[in-house]
Amino acid sequence: MKLYPLTAKLNQRTIVSGVLAEDDEQATIEATFKVLELATDNKVWAEGAITLSDPEGKVIETMPAK
């Protein structure tokens, strides 16, 4: 398993979390569920720009801020 960084940014706030996955596809699926879970209690995750990167730092997926 590898750790994929998951970052949320809104205004001046940045929060970093992560997901464990075997590959990029699994990481994308895991990240989707993690963002949904985190967004219920945190405006940064609910409205901010979200970035999923691979363990080496290459961006895999992005979602712009709302």
pLDDT, tens only, 33-42 = 999 999 999 9
Domain extent for 29: 2-63
54: DSSP letter:
-
pTM given for the model? 0.92
Average pLDDT over residues 48-53: 98
Query: Structure tokens of 14?
Result: 């940045």
Residue 49 is predicted with a pLDDT of 98
pLDDT, tens only, 1-33 = 999 999 999 999 999 999 999 999 999 999 999
The structural domain count of the chain equals 1
Query: At CB < 8 A and 24+ separation, what contacts does 16-25 make?
Result: 19/52, 24/54, 24/60
50 in Cβ contact with 35 (< 8 Å): yes
